[in-house]
Chain A
Amino acid sequence: MKEYTITIFSENDIGLLNEVTIVFSRRKINIESLTVSESEVKGVSRYTIVAFVADNRIENVVRQLEKIIGVFKALYFEADQIVHQEVALFKIANSTKLNGNLENLVRTRNAKILSVNPDFLVIEKVGYKADNQELFNELEQYGVLQFARSGRVAVSCQKREFTSYLKELTN
């Protein structure tokens, strides 16, 4: 089993997400993270899925994803073939405990304070999952009221861009 990042480009149709997840669930593959949003092409969704898949099965999974009507392209990558990040938001109780320590921590961790309220602060950090986790561990002493993280988003290092696939498909 290896961690793979799977990128899918699809139409923005009702039910497609369901079709995509069925390919994973029928093989008993757990999805570690999933992000879906509009891509660089209007009306085309980009999925970024992280999952642990056996080396000799990843190709089959991706081909079955590509077989779904509505999916333009499915690609898979190992860690060194992509640049990836996730976003984390931390809601911290606003109390005297914070003093000046928090600002220092936020600065050294490359995070930022997004919002200050009488009762709470919201801190944002963009980074690898492990970095965001580390910041969470450090913030816990101040009392983390909420910790929300996005799934991974990733762009690939490969030369061929989706728009060129799309051109080929629509020609």
Chain B
Amino acid sequence: METATKTENIERMKYTTEKNISGAEIMVRSLIQEGVDNMFGYIGGAIMPVYDALYDYQDELKHFMSRHEQGAMHSAQAYARISKKVGVCFTTSGPGATNVITGLADAYLDSTPLVVITGQVGSGLLGTDAFQETNIVGVSMPVTKWNYQITRADEIAEIMAKAFYIARSGRPGPVLIDITKNAQILKADYHYKKCEGIRSYQPMPKLNKTEIEAAAALINSAKKPLLLAGQGILLSGAEDELLEFVEKTQVPVACTLLGLSAFPTNHPLYVGMLGMHGNYAPNMNTNECDVLIAVGMRFDDRVTGDTSKYARQAKIIHIDIDRSEHNKNIVVDVPVLADAKDALKALNKVVSGEYRTAWMKSFKDYYQIEFDKVIKKQAYAKSDQINMAEVIRILSEQTKGEAVLCTDVGQHQMTSARYYGFKRPNTQITSGGLGTMGFGLPAAIGAQVGDRNATVVSVSGDGGFQMTLQELAVIKQYHLPVKAILLNNSFLGMVRQWQDLFFDQRFSNTQLENPDFVKIVEGYGIQAKRVSSRDDLETAIQEMLDSPEAYFLEVVVETESNVLPMIAPGAAVSDMRLE
């Protein structure tokens, strides 16, 4: 009997038309039509009808119940980034809805496609300060690509189609759909049709021949070119086109923080990471190059430093899908309005170049300086305590650069970005634009759900880990083999570093008296270990990686080490300090 109902259900859910079904069921079946199979969220009164409808589709639509809506959001974000699907998150109204704001802001800045569905009080109560009523459409407006409040069951299918279309097309971003309780309960005729366009929204710009020609002319005549690869490469799936471009033109490539893993770090033309805590060579040579080719990046202030001293000598080409990014932070010579993949494909037909020996040598020379002054001391430390950098170096070696790294925010994040040798696309998931502490652990959950076979490692600091550690329960409940590394320096390390360098070493509120993390994690039923001696480090990491299950490794690291080199806030990229 029960199986009959189930088969019936599976058959029915494929129909795109049905008479007189509940709004909640329309919602669930819209998700199935959009190819959703995993989602995250947290139940509550105003979204109960939808959760009730989910009950019949548990095998087709896997829902991961977080322990805080912020956790669900970061999981959905990482899931979206790794699976290249739209991340889906459900919450109730009021506090459930306000708890998604950090995740929305994060996804908005980092261009992550999400559809977030929040329950809402009945439409008759809107505007009355009803129990758990928050004007979430108003609150979320500045941090969403689009949002909408559904008040009738008969609008659900069309709005959901529009939501998914907007979230994933063009420059991706988060969409919030608020749905009143009556719209979930009442019945309507269901008819699903995918959205194919919106007349006031042009997500895919047509390639402009003149722009491509102008860019190609600059590239082909460049003596000292430098390419800056941003997340746009990953979002448009242009990794192969980038590789082809680089091999044709012999242009060296530097990645932004979010662009990491868009280009293999072991490629001879890879010159490192840009920005405040990036590598010395690409930052210094930004102010030496003659042609700067920026692809799918947005000249964030953490990349440019003082914009009035940024690449003044260079002709700048800026390829971006979002027209509002052109000339926003940096005035450029050749803006190219295009999807990164389309633009690189077109350019690949007309560009060429030879290996530039002297130019490449300058990158190597700068690298040698960075190696002698920083890398040797940190990644191959001889000091008493373990340095964060050696942990990441060993992790990189043991995983052969093939793991998915989900990092939190702070020194460990910058260290991970600097010392992990990314080899596969989309293997770094971090909070770049918003810099959200607490991102790493829930992100690892979403990444593992998105790629069941990947080795997923979260790297957190002792500060950020305590912002979302409740999500350990999710790892346990759903048997996710996530590996969580905690780099414990007993400080809010990155802030301590700024106090050290810019606030006369007045260490206000950055020292932490921490709990026994191993005990906490064991309390969640997850295997946990602590190491503090260098001699045990390699074995401990290996043991963690070998475990078929979830595993937590706390590494006690140097308390007062700084991430170097560094571009001080407001300084020029070429004023990078090595100590």
Contact = CB atoms under 8 A, between A and B. Distances in A.
**Are both chains from one complex?**
yes
Interface of A: 10-11, 15, 18-19, 22, 26, 59-60, 63-64, 66-67, 69-72, 166, 169-170
Contact of A69 (B145, B322, B323): B145
- List 8 A-B pairs, minimum CB-CB distance, nearest first: A63-B324, A69-B146, A72-B200, A69-B201, A67-B324, A64-B324, A170-B199, A70-B200
Nearest to A22: B142
Given A15-B137, A71-B200, A72-B199, A26 B322 contact: no
Nearest to B201: A69
B200 A60 contact: no
A22 B200 contact: no
13 contacts: A15-B141, A19-B141, A59-B327, A60-B324, A63-B328, A64-B324, A67-B323, A67-B324, A69-B166, A69-B198, A70-B200, A72-B199, A170-B199
B210 interface: no
B138 A18 contact: yes
A66 B328 CA distance: 14
Contacts of B323: 63, 66-67
* Dominant secondary structure at the A interface: helix
Nearest to B146: A69
B337 to A, nearest CB: 11
A28 to B, nearest CB: 14
Nearest to B331: A56
A10 B200 CA distance: 7
Nearest to A15: B137
Chain B: number of interface residues, binned into ranges: 10 to 19
B141 A69 contact: no
Contact of B322 (A22, A67, A72, A169): A67
A69 B146 CA distance: 7
B200 A18 contact: no
A133 B140 CA distance: 40
B145 to A, nearest CB: 7
A71 B198 CA distance: 11
A18 B141 contact: yes
Interface string B315-345: 0000000111011100000000000000000
A170 to B, nearest CB: 5
B141 A22 contact: yes
Contacts of A170: 199
A42 to B, nearest CB: 13
Contacts of B138: 18
A133 B355 CA distance: 69
Interface in B189-203: 198-202
Interface string B157-200: 00000000010000000000000000000000000000000111
B232 to A, nearest CB: 16
Nearest to A60: B328
Given A15-B137, A166-B199, A169-B200, 13 more contacts: A10-B200, A15-B141, A18-B138, A18-B141, A60-B324, A60-B328, A63-B324, A63-B326, A64-B324, A67-B322, A70-B201, A72-B199, A72-B200
